[in-house]
Each structure stands twice: as structure tokens, then as C-alpha cells.
Amino acid sequence: MSQSSSPGPRGPQQIPVVVLAGFLGSGKTTLLNHLLHRSGGTRIGAVVNDFGAIEIDAMAVAGALGDSTVSLGNGCLCCAVDAGELDVYLERLADPATGIDVIVIEASGLAEPQELVRMVLASENPRVVYGGLVEVVDAAEFLDTRQRHPGIDRHLAIADLVVVNKVDRAEDGERVLGLVRSLGEGAAVVAATYGRIDPEFLFDCRPSEERVGQLSFDDLHRHDDVHGNDGADPHGGDGATGGDAHEDHLGHLHTAYDSVAFVSDLPMNPRRLLDFLDGRSDGLYRIKGYVDFGPHDTRNRYAVHAVGRFLRFYPEPWAPGDGPRLTQLVLIGTGIDAAALTKELQACEDDAPQADEHSMWGVLRYVPDREEPEAGGPETSDDPF
Ligand SMILES: Nc1nc2c(ncn2[C@@H]2O[C@H](COP(=O)(O)OP(=O)(O)OP(=O)(O)O)[C@@H](O)[C@H]2O)c(=O)[nH]1
């Protein structure tokens, strides 16, 4: 491999840029929040990329980061943003005045990691250096996801560190770990729940001088055949956010997915929303956002996460600075009908002034025990890291 394909050793003033990738809902935001809470004196800057039109992930990390986070919404970073645009953000975060020690790019769950690596390597900013690729795997969903998208193997093959997350939910965590190890081609593999890994893993996951993850020089300079073919119909979906199958990113995961953004200033009826969620199709793989149940719970908004058949609500008190009380949801899936979904969600709106008794029971069934941290929330104090 040509030496010119690899970043040189980190200079004294250089800030590593770590790419944090992984399929939809695997736990990237949860891991990023863990790092933010547990990184001690290390100051982390984050670039958060949302697939949907509402920047839910950025909302989930912004509280912890303030001005150290920049958000690149509405489309996969791998295609929607060019290297020059990313450079502007890296420049801002790498400014010595920010005091940032490491930058983490949280990719959307449908981004192609090799494209992101390429973009970081293309950065002309002498203050940043590529810091490695971390892939988060959802141990509970991995076997199914891999069946639908065999191209995912390729993502693991170029990773420097693979975090096999959600081992608490996996039926056979050991099998998934073994499989990931065999696909990781030398990457460090670490099991985790709620992304709780030792931050040292990440900040030390810089590749050696000889390699950029498992990417070869040719991989990095060839656009055509590095994407792998996952068998998904690149023209699937109705052409919303993810449907623009451009020649350059034909075969990218996101070309088979569409997203729908739903915003409402009317409260949602909890029973109707639950019926909607319980009846969601398998193609509707990921839902995330915040729900206002109005009179059914005037004190809290509810962060909602659906990943495959997994569903959770996380109540969080409304804060005075939250602005108008809105429901904001992003729905991501294959073969979804945006207009029909919007209509179904509109049918969940409810401006009745009073809550009926027990209306929240269905929702509360999906509120986790206290020890489960919310994707954007604080962690329990007995975390090992
Ligand atoms: N049971 C369990 N749930 C987890 C774990 N890690 C994350 N979750 C939950 O999984 C859901 C999705 O987590 P996120 O961190 O938002 O996932 P993500 O990869 O950022 O999602 P996208 O950005 O949409 O791709 C949330 O409800 C998390 O609380 C885990 O180890 N175990």
C-alpha cells in the first residue's frame, strides 16, 4: 500500500477526527453521550449528521455540548455534504480557541463509512488528522440487518473498533460477537450496553501509519465498487430524503430508505399514537423524536425511539427554554408511504382539553426502568467507565 494513502503520525497540535458509524438505531448517539459524560478532561467536539429533516440526534447531544457541536441535517453526510463543507465545520471545531482535543463525527445510520473516512482524509486542515472508524453494531438486530443488507459486512471490514452494543437485548450475544470478530478483519471488538465503553478505546483507536482502518489505497480512490452491493433496490421508496439514487452513490444503504418528518403543535393522543406504533410495518425500521401528550402529561415531553420492533418512551420534564410544545418525529424505512404515514399521525392529534383516566398506561408500559439511560440522557453513577 502506498504510504500516501495513510495519515502521517499525529503531530503535536493535531486533533484526531473519529468517525462514529453504525446502522440505524444501533446506539451511536447513546455512545456519543456516554463519551461526553465520561471523557474526563478531554474536550470532545461533535459533528452530528441526521438522515431526517428534523435534527433529532443533534437535539439529543446539543445539551451536553453547547457550542462544541455542529449539526449537518437532512441527508447522509456521505453524499449530501461535500468535503469542503465538512472542512468548514472541522475548521470551526479545530480552532485552538475551542480547546477541543478530539472531534467525533456521528454519521447518520445510513451513511457509507468509507465515504466519510475519505472526506476526513481529504480535509486540507493541517490541525486535524483522521482518527479511525468506530462501527456500532446492534447485537439484537445484527443478524436480521445483515440479511437485508449484506453490504454491512464491508463496513465492519474497514473499522478500527467495532462496538457490539445492546448485548443486554441480544438472544445470542456470543454468536454475534464471534461473527463480528470474523468480519472485523483485525479490528478491536468490544461488547457494550448503552455504549458504555472506556473512552480510551476511542481516543486510542487511531490507525497505524500503514493503514487507514482496513481501507486500501485503492479503496480510498475508487468510487465505483467500494460500496458493496447489499441487494436492496436502490430505487425503492418514494423519493423523499433518501430516494435520490445518484450514480455516485448507487448501492449506498440510504438509497433504499426514505424518511418522513412530522411536526405538530397539537398534543398527541397517547392511545391513538400507541395503536399507530403497535401497528407499524416492518419496513418502518426507525422512529425517533419527541412527543407532546398535552393534558395527558403536562409536565413531560416524551422522547420516543423505535428500532425494528423495539420501542421505548423516555419522559423528560419540559424546560422553560424548550420553546413551543411540539411533537417532532422522524420516521425512516423502506417502502414507506410518506403521505399515508403523515395522515395516520395527524389522526393521532388530539386537542381535547382533558385527559381521560389511564390514557397514558399504554405509553408507560414502554418507559424503561430507571437504570436504562435515555439516548440523550444522563447515566447512572455505577457505570464502570
Ligand atoms: N436495551 C438497550 N437499548 C439501547 C442500548 N443502546 C442504545 N439503546 C437504545 O436504542 C435506541 C436508539 O439509540 P440511539 O443512540 O438513538 O441510536 P443511533 O444509532 O444514534 O440512531 P440513529 O441515529 O437513528 O441511527 C434508544 O432507545 C436507546 O436508548 C443498549 O445497549 N441496550
Report whether pLDDT(6) > 50. no
Enumerate the β-bridge partners of residue 138.
165
Q: Which residues of 233-255 are buried (b: 16+ CB within 10 A; e: fewer)?
A: ebebbeebbbbebeeebebbbbb
Overall average pLDDT of the 333-349 stretch: 95
Nearest CA to ligand 1 atom 26: 375
pLDDT at 210: 39
The domains of the chain are located at: 3-221, 257-364
How remote is the CA of residue 216 from the centroid of ligand 1, in Å?
Answer: 31
Q: Among 124, 117, 150, 152, which residue's Cα sits nearest to residue 18?
A: 117
Task: Please give the distance, rounded to the nearest whole angstrom, from the Cα atom of residue 61 to the centre of ligand 1.
Answer: 13
Residue ID of nearest Cα to ligand 1 atom 27: 305
Q: Is pLDDT of 345 > 90?
A: yes
Residue with the smallest CA separation from ligand 1 atom 14 is 27
Tell me the per-residue pLDDT of 127-162, one tens digit each, with 9 for 90 and over. Answer: 999 989 999 999 999 999 999 998 899 999 999 999
Residue 35 or residue 372, greater confidence: 35
Query: Which of 142-156, 224-238, 265-279 is the most confident on average?
Result: 265-279
Query: Among the listed ranges 22-31, 106-115, 128-137, 144-153, which one has the minimum average pLDDT value?
Result: 106-115
Q: Mean pLDDT across the stretch 88-96?
A: 86
Q: Which whole number is the average pLDDT over 8-36?
A: 85
Say if residues 60 and 33 touch (Cβ distance below 8 Å): yes
Percent of the chain with pLDDT over 70: 70
Ligand 1 atom with the smallest distance to the CA of 165 is 31
Q: Give the binding-site residues of ligand 1, using a 6 Å CB cut-off.
A: 22, 24-30, 57, 109, 165-166, 168-169, 193-195, 286, 288, 305, 307, 312, 374-375
CA 70/CA 236 separation, integer angstroms: 31
Q: What is the mean pLDDT of the chain?
A: 79
Under DSSP, the state recorded for 37 is: H
User: Residue 65 pLDDT > 90, yes or no?
Assistant: no
Question: pTM value?
Answer: 0.79
Q: How far is the CA of 106 from the centre of ligand 1 (A)?
A: 13
pLDDT digits (tens, 9 = 90+) for 172-220: 999 999 999 999 877 889 999 999 998 888 775 433 343 444 444 444 4
Q: Among 75, 160, 70, which Cα is nearest to 110's?
A: 75
Residue 49, pLDDT score: 78
Top-level class of domain 3-221: alpha beta
Atom from ligand 1 closest to the CA of residue 332: 24
Higher pLDDT, 348 or 215: 348
Decide yes or no: CATH 3.30.1220.10 for domain 257-364.
yes
The reported pLDDT for the residue numbered 40 is: 75
Prediction ipTM score? 0.99
Lowest mean pLDDT among 8-12, 76-80, 238-242: 238-242
Predicted confidence at residue 78, as pLDDT, reads 62
Residue nearest to atom 7 of ligand 1 (CA): 27
Confidence band, pLDDT 50/70/90 cuts, at residue 80: low
Helix and strand counts by DSSP (H, E) for the chain = 13, 12
What pLDDT does residue 354 have?
A: 85
What integer is the mean pLDDT of 275-300?
94
- Give the residue whose CA is nearest to atom 5 of ligand 1: 194
The Cβ of residue 216 has, within 10 Å, a number of other Cβ atoms equal to 16
Give yes or no for residue 327 having a pLDDT over 50. yes
Residue 320 has pLDDT above 80, yes or no: yes
Separation between Cα atoms, residue 98 and residue 296, nearest integer Å: 43
Q: Which atom of ligand 1 is nearest to the CA of 31?
A: 15
Q: Which amino acid makes up residue 283?
A: G
Asked if the model's pLDDT at residue 369 lies above 90, the reply is no
Best substitution site from 23, 29, 137, 309 to test ligand 1's pocket, by max atoms within 8 Å of Cβ? 29
Q: Which ligand 1 atom sits closest to the C-alpha of 22?
A: 19
Q: What value does the mean pLDDT take over residues 25-46?
A: 87
Return the pLDDT at 230.
40
Share of the chain above pLDDT 90, in %: 43
Residue with cell 480535509: 123
- The pLDDT-based confidence of 364 (bands split at 50, 70, 90) is very high
**310 CA from centroid of ligand 1 (Å):** 10
